[in-house]
Amino acid sequence: MAALAACSLSNASQAEPDETIIRLMNDAPTILDFGIFRLERFLNGAGESSYSRVIYDWDSNRIVVSNRFFDGHTIREAEAMQKCKVWINAMRELAGIDLETGELQSWKTSSEFTRFFLHIGDVEQEHADHDADEKSLDEKFHLVYVVADVVNAADENFSMHCETPLYGTDFAVSY
């Protein structure tokens, strides 16, 4: 009898969702939210051993695809530069960018990254006809790779930040 009373009391004292949770329950995700989720899921299932992150940066109006390298050991600057190049090229290849020209492969109308931000299946014409939107969206993707614990020729320790738009053949480096 005591066990039955304890069970019914524990059920009666369950917490209700507070205002924060209710707001989240009532706030529908946008195609931007869904696209970020889908792209991040794709990138993290594409064989990368580290975790790629995708965010929208309000201040720069960019969709930032980022990753970092840190294995607990210092590495030389030249090796860090090579790691940046390898990761950035891998992202560009996944997106359908020709590494020689830095442009979209000739048979594509938009990058593979953009397709994660499109509706799936048949939709109304107003949503389906947005080639211009796809090209504009491609310009929003920005790649950032950070290599931690880098040592230069003077034995100074720092992190190397490599950044670039999705389209292109090179990248900028900052320390």
Distance CA 104, CA 112 (A): 10
pLDDT of residue 125: 55
Q: Which residue has the higher pLDDT, 8 or 13?
A: 13
CB 119 within 8 A of CB 31: yes
Give the pLDDT mean for 97-113.
93
57-75 confidence digits (pLDDT tens): 999 999 999 999 988 788 9
Name residue, tokens 């946008």: 30
pLDDT of residue 127: 54
DSSP-derived letter for residue 30 is P
Res. 152 pLDDT band, cuts 50 70 90: confident
Average pLDDT score, the chain: 86
